[in-house]
Homo-oligomer: A and B are copies of this chain.
Amino acid sequence: MKIDRPLILISNDDGVNAKGIQELIDSLRGIADLFVMAPDGPRSGKSCAMTSECPVRYSLVSKDDEVTVCQCTGTPVDCIKLALDIMPKRPDLVIGGINHGDNSSVNVHYSGTMGVVIEGCLKGIPSIGFSLCDHAADADFTPMLPYVKQIVAEVLSHGLPEGVCLNVNAPLASSFQGVRICRQAKGVWRNEWLECSHPRGGEYFWLTGNYHPLEPEAEDTDHWALENGYIAITPTQIDMTAYRMMDDLKHWNFSV
Contact = CB atoms under 8 A, between A and B. Distances in A.
Given A181-B250, A203-B57, A245 B161 contact: yes
A246 B235 contact: yes
Given A192-B81, A207-B56, A150 B253 contact: yes
Interface stretch (A1-9, A24-32, A40-48, A62-70): A40-48
A117 B147 CA distance: 36
- How many copies, total? 2
Interface in A124-175: 124, 146-147, 149-151, 154, 158, 160-161, 163-164
A241 B146 CA distance: 25
Nearest to A247: B181
A117 B240 CA distance: 13
A98 interface: no
Contacts of A77: 47, 110
B256 A204 contact: no
B52 A44 contact: yes
B240 A236 contact: yes
User: Which one of A50, A53, A154, A196 has the highest number of Cβ atoms from chain B below 10 Å of its Cβ?
Assistant: A50
Given A52-B45, A207-B78, A235-B249, A57 B183 contact: no
B47 A48 contact: yes
Q: Which 5 A-B pairs have the closest CB atoms?
A: A235-B245, A237-B242, A49-B49, A235-B242, A55-B204
Interface of A: 42, 44-53, 55-58, 75, 77-78, 81-82, 85, 106, 108-110, 112, 115, 118, 122-124, 146-147, 149-151, 154, 158, 160-161, 163-164, 178-179, 181, 183-184, 186, 188-189, 192-193, 196, 202-207, 231, 233-246, 249-250, 252-256
8 contacts: A45-B50, A56-B204, A57-B205, A78-B207, A108-B240, A109-B238, A161-B244, A179-B254
